[in-house]
Structure 1
Amino acid sequence: MSNPAPAEAGPGHGSPPEHGRGSGPEAAPVPRRDTEEPAFPAAADRSQWRYRPRRAFWRSRLVRAISLVTVLAICALVILAMVREQTGTQGFLVGLGLAVLPVPLLMAAFRWLDRVEPGPWKNLLFAFAWGAFAAALVAILANSFAIRWIATATADPASADHLGATVVAPVVEESAKAAAILLLFLFRRRNFGGLVDGVVIAGFTATGFAFTENILYLGNAFGEDQEVGATGIGMVTAGTFFVRVVMSPFAHPLFTVLTGLGFGFAALAPRGKRLRKVLLPLAGLLLSMGMHAAWNGSATFGGPWIFYAVYGALMMPAFGLLTWLAVWSRQRELRTISGELPAYAAAGWLSPAEPLALSSMRARQLARSYAARTYGKEGARAVGEYESFATTLAFLRDRARRGTAGPDFAAREQELLHHLWQRRAVASPALTYAARATGRVWAPPQYLDYGGYNPYRS
């Protein structure tokens, strides 16, 4: 096999590789894929990966993580104690058991959207915990204070409740949930690259918030049924469960996803567009507040028919539109992979079939299955890691093309190429097989061997 031409500004020299031969002594040589070990002049020592300077102890990740977990744990204890006090122990347990039912389904749906480049679970768990405990605690305290203040100022408790539901609650709750998205956008910027990330983080945050809120509503409904001795389908608990869990489990995620989309568009904005990075999230937040207010107002002022009209005319179309946008964004990520990785294949870092396999979720799964059959669990893990690193490399190159990659592009590119090269012996044949098996490249006849390799033979 002949040695492929080196990249124009080879990996690690500050810009994405282009076709053609390098010039000058600093051009990084592209290795012969099967025989040579590449040099990684810009790759740091393993202990220095992530390219962050050492910090003082009090600024270390461990201290920050412990502090964050402590704060969330305190919020959890306080909010759950407050809910139990309002609902009673029996109502709390019933509400908890019913409120948890939609949570795995919603989390699985948002995680499915994030399969192309899955974000770290710790970020998603933080978002869920923030929504369930911190945002819920802020909301219940702020809403209660605002309603009491309005009732005192107007001497009209009924109007205070209505204003609280339609004006105060949307503003307070959406702002509290948006805080989790803002924190991840600011402090986990590398994991927040576009629309899908915004949707998924917002969805997990809102799912956590709805979980705690449902405990309160369902627990109170059960308490009402206990007082009047209601049983069967006419129970308030059954009606509350139908409206909040069956009809509209996506209500809170739908509102907050608008905020997440605002942050997602901000993440795609070029570097230096600071005004755009501020205005887009604010626009998303205002839209989420408006839709939340319309939803609460239909239930507060309109009665059941207005509620169902708003549900059918506003909520369902909005849900369908946002679902389409989320799926389209997921497909856009796959198109980014198929558009960016061929440059690395042309430079010799990947085989020609790999970009095609990596841009298909079915081919990725097939490659992992092939590696598991051939090499066992370790092989499947290596292929999965290879797919993850290659996806991150494609998105990094895409951000570099749009001017949002940052000054450490070369070092990050080198680190990713280093990880890919370590796993190529197992991953490259598996992905080539998957590309052929899924019809993304031409497959040779079963009775012929090409270069000693036949994908139809185990």
Structure 2
Amino acid sequence: MTYGGGNFHTGTVGDAQQGWASPLAHPAHAQPAHIAPAAPQEPHLQLPPVPSKGRAPWLWIWIVLGVLAVAVIGYYITGLGVVGVAITSFLALFPFVGIILTVLLLIDRWEPEPRSLIVFALAWGAVASIALTLLTIIVLDLIAMLLGTDPLLHEILSIIVRAPIVEEGWKLLGILLVLWMGRKAFDGPVDGLVYGMLIGAGFAFTENIQYFVQALYLGGIDGLATNFFLRGVMSPFAHAMFTGAIGLMIGLAKRGGRSIPLFTLIGYVIGVALHALWNASSTLDIFFPNAFYTVYALVEVPIFVLFIVCVVQLRKEEMRLTKERLGEYADAGWFTRQEVDMLATPQGRKIGKRWAASLRGNRSALMKSFVADATALAMARQRALTGRDPGAVEDEHLLLHRASATRQALLAP
């Protein structure tokens, strides 16, 4: 297939790479495709549209979310009161916005996810996961009542066992929907982490409203302040971490061409275990005073630190993979090695943006597009190498064309 005068062929060749720099990037089902050398390009290329298929939620699912949103709002207002919900919704926004900013500005900066999928993830967590969890709990409570389960035992099991299994299960469904609807955007572990954390953030936002209202009614302002400190200050990332771990494991499977069902199960077990541990620490206060703070300091804080280290390493891996994949195009003459360094390193991107801003007409927007297209190109090539996305090769062609055209525009007199 010809783009801008260059022939770009895909297929298995005999000179396939034998070694891989990272196990995270190792595809299980395909070999590297051959990239033909770049040929001189025409001075004016028509920029093809960014591939959109497989990067957005289905239209009908927004209707479902809208119906569920009305149901959840009605349930909360009926059970908790308009004033209480209004006041605590404002308070719940603080940790909610904090998580969103952390995810979008720190974790998702390298290869930003489509906005529609980001909004869907937040909405699924805040609306669908809550609604489905409430329905499940109602059914399970009725079953427990019919079986005559001891009330105290039922309460403890509900907190430590039922809540983690049910809540993480419905949040997991949201991740799987993103994986299905946004199969061309969900490229690897960082993407899975982002979607999982956003779903967890949405869930925590709505759940916090309930807990804050109950604390306000039972303990007044002091009770609300204490509950806000525990949930909004000490543990704002709890749900985001639980579900983020699930998304991360699914992303690892997607990136490396491994078994998605197996890694989904592993991620779900990890998420449920973390959730159960967190809930158990608060339940221990019933029997051991200040047990929550002890477990928080000795267990939860180290887990959070480990989580941060994991995020940092995943971002480094994403940068390394971008540089490796774009380096293959540089070997074929599509980019220079200097351009690969500019596109695949944080410092290089900063320098590139400053350089573009200094050009005639301020070409910062072109540079931003060039970086985005080149990064998406690297990820599309990785998907093609795993052999799981039949449309990845077509995306690769289109993105290569876009990146080449944008590059020409940047270098034009």
Deviation at 1:92, TM superposition (A): 0.5
1:304-334 Cα deviation digits (max 9, x unpaired) = 5221222122221211112111111111111
Equivalent of residue 122 in structure 2, options 111, 114, 128: 128
Alignment of 1:98-109 (within 5 A): 98-109=91-102
Structure 2 CA distance for aligned equivalents of residues 18 and 115 of structure 1: 34
Q: Secondary structure at the match of 2:187?
A: coil
Structure 2 length-normalised TM: 0.85
Deviation at 1:218, TM superposition (A): 0.6
Change (3 A) 1:75 1:268: same
1:11 corresponds to 2:5: no
Alignment of 1:41-60 (within 5 A): 50=51
Equivalent of residue 411 in structure 1, options 380, 385, 394: 394
1:289 corresponds to 2:272: yes
Gaps of 5+ in 1: 1-5, 20-26, 53-59, 430-452, 454-458
Residue 139 of structure 1 corresponds to which residue in structure 2?
Answer: 133
Contact 2:216 2:223 in 1 (8 A): yes
Residue 93 of structure 1 corresponds to which residue in structure 2?
Answer: 86
Residue 250 of structure 1 corresponds to which residue in structure 2?
Answer: 237
Deviation at 1:88, TM superposition (A): 1.2
Q: Which has the larger Rg? A: 1
Contact 2:384 2:390 in 1 (8 A): no
Deviation at 1:162, TM superposition (A): 1.8
Q: Secondary structure at the match of 2:61?
A: helix
Residue 22 of structure 2 corresponds to which residue in structure 1?
Answer: none
User: 1:145 corresponds to which letter in structure 2?
Assistant: V
Structure 2 CA distance for aligned equivalents of residues 185 and 16 of structure 1: 30
Residue 119 of structure 1 corresponds to which residue in structure 2?
Answer: 113
1:103-139 Cα deviation digits (max 9, x unpaired) = 2221111112111111101111101100000001111
Equivalent of residue 346 in structure 1, options 331, 342, 346: 331
Change (3 A) 1:37 1:14: farther
Contact 1:269 1:277 in 2 (8 A): no
Residue 310 of structure 2 corresponds to which residue in structure 1?
Answer: 325
Equivalent of residue 365 in structure 2, options 381, 385, 393: 381
Contact 1:146 1:164 in 2 (8 A): no
Q: Secondary structure at the match of 2:359?
A: helix
- Structure with higher RCO (Cα < 8 A, 6+ apart): 2
User: 1:280 corresponds to which letter in structure 2?
Assistant: F
Residue 42 of structure 2 corresponds to which residue in structure 1?
Answer: 37
Structure 1 CA distance for aligned equivalents of residues 66 and 262 of structure 2: 33
Contact 1:93 1:219 in 2 (8 A): no
Change (3 A) 1:70 1:407: closer
Deviation at 1:50, TM superposition (A): 4.2
Residue 425 of structure 1 corresponds to which residue in structure 2?
Answer: 408
Aligned CA RMSD, in angstroms, stands at: 3.1
1:391 corresponds to 2:384: no
Change (3 A) 1:117 1:279: same
Contact 1:150 1:160 in 2 (8 A): yes
Contact 1:195 1:326 in 2 (8 A): no
Contact 2:118 2:195 in 1 (8 A): yes
Residue 434 of structure 1 corresponds to which residue in structure 2?
Answer: none
Deviation at 1:18, TM superposition (A): 8.1
Structure 1 length-normalised TM: 0.77
Deviation at 1:66, TM superposition (A): 3.5
1:207 corresponds to 2:201: yes
Deviation at 1:375, TM superposition (A): 4.4
* Equivalences, count: 389
Residue 355 of structure 1 corresponds to which residue in structure 2?
Answer: 340
Contact 1:16 1:397 in 2 (8 A): no
Change (3 A) 1:29 1:355: closer
Residue 154 of structure 1 corresponds to which residue in structure 2?
Answer: 148
Residue 70 of structure 2 corresponds to which residue in structure 1?
Answer: 77
Q: Secondary structure at the match of 2:39?
A: coil
Identity %: 31
User: 2:280 corresponds to which letter in structure 1?
Assistant: G
Deviation at 1:408, TM superposition (A): 4.1
Residue 351 of structure 2 corresponds to which residue in structure 1?
Answer: 366
Structure 2 CA distance for aligned equivalents of residues 108 and 149 of structure 1: 41
Contact 1:12 1:413 in 2 (8 A): no
Compare 113-122 and 405-414 and name the one that shifted more.
Answer: 405-414
User: 1:333 corresponds to which letter in structure 2?
Assistant: E
- Which aligned segments of 4 or more residues in structure 1 are displaced greater than 6 angstroms? 16-19
Structure 2 CA distance for aligned equivalents of residues 369 and 78 of structure 1: 49
Structure 2 CA distance for aligned equivalents of residues 117 and 209 of structure 1: 24
